[in-house]
């Protein structure tokens, strides 16, 4: 009997040990599954964050590009105003200020104004009444945006030893390099 009890006890211990190993295996698999779920959730969260960051960056870049275009437009308009207001080209008329056509034509041969025209790629004057235009400056740059304003274009005529200003409406067109 004593021997039978000894035989039974180890058998029961084996069953208990085998049960605990299988329970541990199930618990280990559940733990691994939880770790995998957490890892996939972190990965999904990182991907979502990257997508949000991508959209945010895209929106910021659009704002920067529109601001750059606005500044280029302001620079072109400022260049137009500087050009019209330069005393080298201005002429006084009965109606006010104008631009001297002969001086503009002479400007084509002067290279000292190149610093003034750094941001400008082309300047053209279109005489509306005569339906013709002439180029004042051209740097041969590509990708240009044109801005224009109407100005009185005056030329001096001599009639019976008197100088007379003949002014016509012209469109001053300035092309700025698109960046």
- With H, G, I as helix, E, B as strand and everything else as coil, classify residue 147: strand
What strands, in cross-sheet order, belong to the sheet with 97-100? 90-92, 97-100, 144-159, 162-177, 120-127, 132-138
DSSP strand E in 21-112: where?
A: 90-92, 97-100
Average pLDDT (102-124) is 76
Q: Has this prediction a pTM greater than 0.75?
A: no
- Interior/surface letters 60-89, b for 16+ CB within 10 angstroms, e for the rest: eeeeeeeeeeeebeeebeebbeebbeeeeb
- The answer to whether the CB of 127 falls within 8 A of the CB of 98 is no
Query: Whole-angstrom Cα distance, residue 133 to residue 101?
Result: 12
120, exposed or middle or buried, with CB in 10 Å at 0-12, 13-18, 19+?
buried
38 alpha-carbon distance from chain centroid: 41
Query: Whole-angstrom Cα distance, residue 119 to residue 177?
Result: 7
R_g of the chain, CA atoms, integer Å: 42
Query: Whole-angstrom Cα distance, residue 34 to residue 28?
Result: 10
Average pLDDT (30-52) is 92
Whether pLDDT at 21 is above 90:
no
Q: Where are the domains of the chain?
A: 1-179
Whether pLDDT at 86 is above 90:
no
Whether pLDDT at 64 is above 70:
yes
State the pLDDT confidence band at 55, using cuts at 50, 70 and 90. Answer: very high
- The answer to whether the CB of 168 falls within 8 A of the CB of 157 is no
Query: Whole-angstrom Cα distance, residue 115 to residue 71?
Result: 19
Most confident of the ranges 12-21, 90-99, 105-114, 152-161: 152-161
Q: What is the pLDDT of residue 50?
A: 96
């Amino acid at each position: 009997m004593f021997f039978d009890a000894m035989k039974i006890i180890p058998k029961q211990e084996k069953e208990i040990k085998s049960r605990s190993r299988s329970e541990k295996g199930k618990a280990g698999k559940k733990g691994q599954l939880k770790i995998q779920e957490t890892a996939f959730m972190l990965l999904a969260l990182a991907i979502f964050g990257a997508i949000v960051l991508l959209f945010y960056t895209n929106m910021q870049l659009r704002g920067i590009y529109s601001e750059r275009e606005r500044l280029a437009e302001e620079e072109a308009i400022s260049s137009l105003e500087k050009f019209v207001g330069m005393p080298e080209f201005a002429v006084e008329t009965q109606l006010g200020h104008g631009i001297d056509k002969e001086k503009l034509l002479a400007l084509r041969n002067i290279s000292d104004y190149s610093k003034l025209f750094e941001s400008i790629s082309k300047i053209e004057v279109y005489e509306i009444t005569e339906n013709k235009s002439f180029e004042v400056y051209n740097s041969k740059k590509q990708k240009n945006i044109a801005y224009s304003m109407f100005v009185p274009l005056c030329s001096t005529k001599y009639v019976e030893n008197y100088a007379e200003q003949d002014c016509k409406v012209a469109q001053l067109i300035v092309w700025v390099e698109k960046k």
